[in-house]
């Protein structure tokens, strides 16, 4: 579940899978829903429409599977508790026809962009009220949607809270918390390096090379089915993380490596004496007064995928975002320290950002990364959680706006999601501020 590995196989994957190339207004037809494609329809579904734990990550199967991860993988619940849900005020605005200018100079309506970017849900909060909420492709307000690397921002927030409580020292090394990591890349990486993705890890993310590190990570979580016959590599997260090796010096360059977050989750578990999901549940989730349980994807020994396994409803993700925008106070109580929320909302340091990658996206679209959150390089320097295939929790403190978007983009990375969304949301923010 890596992100922004622009030199990897993704570009080819995008070219193979992407079907949303038609940009001129007259050519546009909305992408087919899972139901329209007949995916998993009927008892049994036709053989070529069945989705299994071997093909669910592919397009178009992902149009169905991102709302059904629990039906394909072992998962652990993050219980909402038994208290009544916190309530949003609602002030519906018709934003469908709002236009914005894309990076390739098209003028496009917000509703069309949602279609082009394979949106499954969108919730827009302005000043804490729901002003816009849409569910597409069979999704409902109570559907938990796979969030991929948006998960990282929950983990990062939890680690910052533990640090504020004095239970984790951000300057200490991962190896000092987890002796199991001796000899690995993480032994002398600090918690802050992990949070900022500035660890120096030999980690290849070529999704077309089955010998690459991301494939071995994938075997642990059954992302692409079983490993090949004769494979003798690690099959649990705890066995996998110590196998990664150092390459270079920590703290120098931003290098997006999903297992960094899994190490953070492991440290948090060791410190909090709770599983990642139990810690998220008690520290961040139940206090929000969520409407629905969330859940998280597990490996074959019931260990959480902290790097990308969260599944949550759009509204509950919006509660999390709004809590941060309100400096940690939500549902009538303080949930995280104000200092942690303010830290998340600051833009971050762009210096390490372009030292590893060579991609204009890292200056023109994104601006920085810190504490498991992205900063976009738009007028409001908005902060966002981002996951592949179009998952986002976007926080604009200037406009007091939160946007949650859950998607099933055929491509893990696509311009229509990652490049256009900060333009769309900036236009949305300005519209809401001026109404």
Interface residues toward a copy of itself, by CB under 8 A: 40, 43-44, 50-54, 68, 70-77, 79, 82, 142, 226, 229, 236, 238, 266, 269-270, 273, 275, 291, 293, 295, 298, 300-303
Rounded distance, CA 218 to CA 336, Å? 33
> Minimum Å distance from CB 149 to a copy of itself?
22
Residue 79: CB partners within 8 Å, gap ≥ 6?
281, 286, 293
Rounded distance, CA 153 to CA 147, Å? 11
Rounded distance, CA 113 to CA 118, Å? 9
> Minimum Å distance from CB 332 to a copy of itself?
21
Nearer to a copy of itself, 30 or 225 (CB): 225
Which of the following is catalytic: 5, 8, 20, 149? 149
DSSP state of 179: G
Nearer to a copy of itself, 274 or 419 (CB): 274
Q: Are 194 and 378 a contacting pair, CB within 8 Å?
A: no
Q: Are 335 and 287 a contacting pair, CB within 8 Å?
A: yes
> Minimum Å distance from CB 226 to a copy of itself?
7
Nearer to a copy of itself, 227 or 251 (CB): 227
Nearer to a copy of itself, 41 or 419 (CB): 41
> Minimum Å distance from CB 368 to a copy of itself?
31
Judged by DSSP in three states, 192 sits in helix
> Minimum Å distance from CB 293 to a copy of itself?
7
The closest alpha carbon to 65, from 394, 389, 385, belongs to 389
Nearer to a copy of itself, 270 or 333 (CB): 270
Is 149 catalytic? The answer is yes
Q: Are 227 and 233 a contacting pair, CB within 8 Å?
A: yes
Q: Are 195 and 159 a contacting pair, CB within 8 Å?
A: yes
Active site residues: 149
């Amino acid at each position: 579940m890596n992100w922004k590995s622009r030199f990897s196989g993704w570009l080819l994957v995008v070219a193979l899978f992407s079907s949303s190339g038609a940009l001129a207004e007259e050519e546009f037809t909305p992408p087919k829903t899972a139901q329209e494609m007949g995916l998993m329809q009927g008892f049994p579904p036709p053989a070529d429409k069945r989705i299994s734990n071997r093909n669910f990550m592919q397009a178009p199967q992902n149009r169905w599977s991102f709302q059904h991860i629990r039906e394909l993988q072992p998962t652990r619940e993050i219980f909402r508790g038994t208290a009544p849900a916190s309530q949003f005020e609602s002030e519906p605005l018709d934003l469908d026809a709002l236009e914005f200018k894309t990076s390739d100079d098209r003028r496009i309506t917000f509703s069309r962009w949602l279609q082009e970017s394979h949106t499954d849900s969108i919730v827009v909060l302005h000043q804490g009220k729901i002003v816009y909420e849409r569910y597409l492709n069979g999704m409902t307000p109570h559907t938990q949607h796979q969030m991929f690397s948006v998960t990282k921002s929950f983990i990062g927030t939890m680690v910052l809270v533990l640090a504020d409580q004095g239970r984790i020292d951000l300057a200490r090394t991962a190896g000092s918390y987890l002796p199991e990591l001796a000899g690995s890349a993480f032994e002398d990486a600090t918690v802050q390096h992990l949070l900022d993705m500035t660890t120096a890890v030999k980690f290849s993310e070529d999704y077309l090379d089955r010998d690459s590190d991301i494939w071995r990570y994938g075997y642990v979580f059954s992302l692409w089915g079983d490993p090949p016959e004769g494979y003798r590599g690690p099959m649990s997260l705890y066995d996998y993380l110590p196998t990664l090796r150092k390459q270079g010096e920590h703290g120098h360059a931003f290098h997006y490596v999903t297992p960094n977050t899994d190490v953070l989750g492991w440290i948090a578990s060791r410190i909090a004496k709770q599983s990642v999901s139990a810690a998220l549940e008690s520290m961040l989730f139940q206090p929000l007064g969520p409407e629905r349980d969330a859940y998280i994807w597990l490996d074959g020994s019931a260990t959480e995928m902290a790097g990308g396994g969260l599944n949550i409803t759009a509204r509950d993700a919006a509660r999390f975002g709004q809590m941060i925008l309100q400096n940690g106070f939500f549902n009538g109580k303080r949930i995280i320290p104000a200092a942690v929320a303010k830290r998340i909302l600051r833009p971050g340091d762009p210096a390490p950002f372009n030292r590893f990658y060579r991609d204009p996206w890292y200056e023109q679209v994104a601006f920085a990364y810190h504490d498991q959150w992205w900063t976009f390089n738009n007028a409001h320097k908005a902060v966002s959680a981002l996951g592949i295939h179009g998952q986002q929790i976007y926080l604009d403190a200037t406009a007091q706006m939160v946007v949650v978007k859950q998607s099933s983009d055929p491509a893990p990375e696509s311009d229509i999601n990652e490049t256009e969304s900060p333009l769309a949301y900036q236009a949305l923010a300005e519209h809401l501020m001026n109404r």
